[in-house]
């Protein structure tokens, strides 16, 4: 009997929280227990009833409170995500999950930095919890660095605070340090031995440069445009040191050593 | 009990629902999502003589009811397939066809020759219609002489089932179909993607790195159906219909238009278990309509009245 890693499931939307003008948090119940979901993995979410959306939308798993629940953080950017954000509690949403490779947790690291920008903060929450769950880290040694345009876009801060120390930057200076994540003083004041990042590509590239200068291992989560999400269409390829690799199956998490950044 | 078996000019399929090349990987990617015994056949990803990196990213743009792709035949080459992939997939309980592509007639023939002796590959699909590679590909599929030359060359070295995949990017697809038949094709599959384009108005830039790409999905279905119907009037060899099939009803429409089997392509990206759903739905359709054999649906379109307009396009 073939062991299934991923499933096509109808999930029930239990709660939808409007966090800001652009972000909603969607809390779903799965139809059965799915074990082994990991931070960095994503769900392919089908958008029903939107006129011009044809493909599923890949959305990073934000949190897994239990094997029958997942949270998705959705940034409203286009017709598909707008449709998702308009759903009422009780709606059924079809997903394929979990997909992709997760962040790695090396056993010999103790001072991780988790950098999230915009909607890219989503997997960092789950990763923070995963790091805590290993028992290898104490809360004070896990640092989140979260960046956004302004205060209203900094979401889920109280959740992040459960798993580490939270540092923030905003582009307009309305909260935390003014500027980009790479301008935050902790990058110079503190030393880290592992960097994880997810967010806009220029931000991740800047974080990757910082990690390279400091000779720290860095994992990034890419958001290349996808069709299938399961390695069949070959549309989401990233040009890596090993040639074109599918972001959906070889990633979305890549060690920056494999990328041509 | 509905008899689901179809016979494509000697190639027997347990049911008429196959996967289209380039949309089902090598099958392995789909093991979590469906029972492979319910797949009529798998046409594996386009294979060329030498490895190909494919086109640069971005390679995809979503369109209303469809998508454009510009993958450009990324694959590791036929030898890699024979040595590494074939041993992993050869025991699948379904007909396995390899989609063969090339830049020259010699490429096609040599690639076919290297697949010839694989016991569990009963046939190949000759791709003379890929719109995403510069030389060859579609160039062979857009003229009768080109199609004839490449099919003839492959026919000489390849002695199992030879299916030829046709391009819709032509004035008269029946002319190409007839050329393929005359050159020794055992069946034709149609349609490959339609050449299309998508623009980001805000950035004033094309969405695809290659500017143009191949359009697929439900939006192309009426065109595909029309071409299958026209081709069924023009050739005697079996036709495999594809283009935007997303339900059993769509599959029935292609059979009625003259197809003996169908391929499901782009919809695998959205519903990875859809081939099984469609295969089951075909049985349900036959039960509902008291059809004993799915193959009885082939060409069973009932046309009332005078000669249809579309025949006058020739």
Section A117-142 average pLDDT: 95
Q: Residue A237: closest CA among chain B residues belongs to which residue?
A: B57
**Domain residue limits, chain B:** 6-297
Pair of tokens at residue A179: 């500027």
pTM score of the predicted model: 0.95
Residue B129 pLDDT: 83
pLDDT, tens digit, for every residue of A71-126?
999 999 999 999 999 999 999 999 999 999 999 998 888 899 999 999 999 999 99
Residue of chain B minimizing CA distance to A97: B32
User: What pLDDT is attached to residue A107?
Assistant: 87
B24 and A CB contact within 8 Å: yes
All residue ranges of chain B with pLDDT < 70 are 132, 134-137, 306-314
Q: Which residues of A touch B67 (CB under 8 A)?
A: 54-55, 227
| Average pLDDT of the segment spanning A198-211 | 97
Catalytic residues of B: 130
Minimal Cα–Cα distance from A66 to chain B, Å? 22
Contact map slice: A 223-242 vs B, CB within 8 A: 224-239
What are the boundaries of each domain within chain A?
7-99, 112-258
CATH match of B6-297 with 3.20.20.70: yes
Q: Which of the residues A44, A224, A232, A243 would you substitute to probe the B interface, choosing the one with the greatest number of B C-beta atoms within 10 Å?
A: A232
CB atoms within 10 A of CB A158: 8
Residue B313 is predicted with a pLDDT of 47
Residue B31: list chain A partners with CB under 8 A: 2
DSSP 8-state assignment for residue A245 = E
Chain B environment of A52 (Cβ under 8 Å): 62, 64
Question: Residue B312: its pLDDT value, please?
Answer: 47
A89 contact B CB<8A: no
A77 touches chain B (CB under 8 A): no
| Closest Cβ–Cβ partner in B32, B33, B67 for A227 | B67
B256 closest CA partner among B215, B227, B298: B298
Q: Which pLDDT value is given to residue B308?
A: 59
pLDDT in tens, A144-158: 999 999 999 999 999
Cβ-defined contact of A239 to B269 (cutoff 8 Å):
no
Is the ipTM beyond the 0.90 threshold? yes
Residues in chain B within 8 Å Cβ distance of A238: 57
Q: What is the pLDDT of residue B306?
A: 60
B54: closest CA of chain A, how far (Å):
8
Average pLDDT over residues A11-25: 96
Task: Report the chain B residue with the minimal C-alpha distance to residue A231.
Answer: B29
**Nearest CB partner across the interface for A54, out of B24, B59, B62:** B62
B63 and A CB contact within 8 Å: yes
Task: Please give the residue of chain A at the shortest CA–CA distance from B271.
Answer: A8
**pLDDT per residue over A220-253, tens digit each?**
999 999 999 999 999 999 999 999 999 999 999 9
| B residues 210-249 lying closer than 8 A (beta carbon) to A | 217-218
- The residue among B19 and A3 whose pLDDT is bigger is B19
Q: How confident is the model at residue A51 (pLDDT cuts 50, 70, 90)?
A: confident
Option in A233, A237, A238 nearest B23 (CB): A233
Distances (CA, A) of A77 to A84, A224, A226: 11, 15, 16
Chain A positions touching B66 (Cβ under 8 A) are: 54
Residue B134 has what pLDDT?
61
Using a CB–CB cutoff of 8 Å, tell me whether B268 touches chain A.
Answer: yes
Nearest-neighbour CA in chain A from B125: distance (Å): 18
Q: What is the CATH number of domain A7-99?
A: 2.40.30.10
- Rounded Cα–Cα distance for residues B37 and B20 (Å): 17
Given this model, what pLDDT does residue A2 score?
Answer: 72
CATH code for the structural domain at A112-258: 3.40.50.80
- What residues of chain A, 38 to 57, have a C-beta less than 8 Å from chain B? 46, 51-56
Q: Is B77 left (phi over 0), alpha (psi -120 to 50) or beta?
A: left
Place of tokens 């400091």: A214
What pLDDT does residue B137 have? Answer: 66
Measure in Å the smallest separation between the Cα of A57 and chain B Cα atoms. Answer: 10
Task: Say yes or no for a CB contact (<8 Å) between A231 and B60.
Answer: no
Q: CB–CB of B92/B18 below 8 Å?
A: no
Helix or strand (DSSP H, E) at B154: helix B144-157
């Amino acid at each position: 009997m073939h062991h299934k890693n991923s499933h096509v499931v109808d999930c029930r939307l239990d709660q939808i929280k409007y966090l800001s003008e652009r972000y909603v948090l969607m809390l779903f119940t799965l139809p059965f227990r799915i074990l082994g979901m990991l931070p960095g993995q994503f769900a392919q979410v089908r958008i029903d009833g939107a006129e011009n959306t044809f493909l599923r939308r890949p959305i990073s798993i934000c949190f897994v409170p239990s094997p029958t629940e997942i949270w998705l953080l959705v940034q409203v950017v286009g017709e598909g995500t707008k449709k998702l954000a308009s759903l009422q509690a009780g709606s059924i949403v079809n997903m394929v999950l979990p997909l992709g490779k997760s962040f790695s947790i090396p056993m010999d690291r103790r001072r991780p930095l988790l950098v999230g920008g915009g909607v890219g903060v989503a997997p960092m929450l789950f990763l923070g919890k995963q790091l805590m769950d290993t028992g290898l880290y104490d809360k004070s040694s896990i640092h989140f660095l979260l960046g956004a345009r302004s205060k209203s876009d900094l979401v889920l801060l109280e959740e992040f605070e459960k798993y580490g120390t939270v540092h923030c930057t905003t582009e307009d200076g309305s909260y935390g340090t003014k500027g980009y994540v790479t301008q935050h003083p902790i990058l110079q004041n503190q030393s880290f031995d592992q960097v994880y990042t997810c967010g806009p590509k220029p931000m991740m590239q800047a974080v990757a440069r910082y990690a390279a200068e400091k000779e720290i291992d860095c994992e990034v989560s890419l958001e290349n445009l996808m069709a299938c999400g399961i390695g069949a269409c070959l549309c989401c390829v990233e040009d890596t040191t090993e040639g074109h690799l599918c972001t959906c199956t070889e990633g979305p998490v890549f060690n920056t050593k494999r990328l041509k950044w | 009990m509905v008899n689901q078996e179809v016979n494509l000019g000697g190639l027997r399929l347990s049911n008429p629902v196959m996967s289209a090349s380039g949309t089902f990987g090598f099958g392995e990617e789909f093991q979590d999502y469906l029972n492979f015994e319910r797949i009529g056949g798998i046409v594996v990803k386009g294979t060329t003589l030498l490895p190909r990196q494919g086109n640069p990213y971005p390679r995809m743009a979503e369109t209303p009811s469809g998508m454009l792709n510009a993958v450009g035949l990324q694959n590791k080459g036929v030898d890699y397939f024979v040595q590494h992939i074939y041993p992993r997939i050869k025991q699948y309980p379904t007909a396995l066809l390899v989609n063969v592509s090339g830049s020259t007639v010699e490429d096609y023939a040599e690639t076919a020759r290297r697949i010839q002796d694989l016991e569990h590959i009963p046939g190949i699909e000759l791709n003379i219609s890929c719109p995403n590679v510069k030389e060859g590909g579609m160039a062979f599929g857009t003229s009768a002489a080109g199609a004839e030359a490449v099919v003839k060359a492959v026919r000489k070295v390849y002695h199992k089932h030879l299916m030829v995949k046709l391009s819709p990017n032509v004035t008269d697809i029946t002319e190409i179909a007839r050329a393929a038949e005359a050159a020794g094709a055992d069946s034709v599959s149609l349609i490959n993607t339609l050449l299309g384009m998508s623009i980001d108005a805000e950035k004033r830039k094309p969405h695809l790195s290659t500017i143009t790409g191949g359009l697929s999905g439900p939006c192309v279905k009426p065109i595909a159906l029309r071409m299958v119907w026209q081709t069924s009037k023009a050739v005697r060899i079996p036709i495999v219909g594809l283009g935007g099939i997303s339900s059993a009803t769509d599959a029935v429409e292609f059979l009625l238009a003259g197809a003996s089997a169908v391929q499901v392509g782009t919809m695998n990206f959205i519903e990875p278990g859809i081939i099984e759903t469609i295969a089951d739905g075909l049985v349900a359709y036959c039960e509902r309509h008291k059809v004993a054999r799915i193959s009885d649906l082939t060409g069973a379109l009932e046309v009332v009245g005078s000669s249809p307009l579309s025949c006058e396009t020739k």
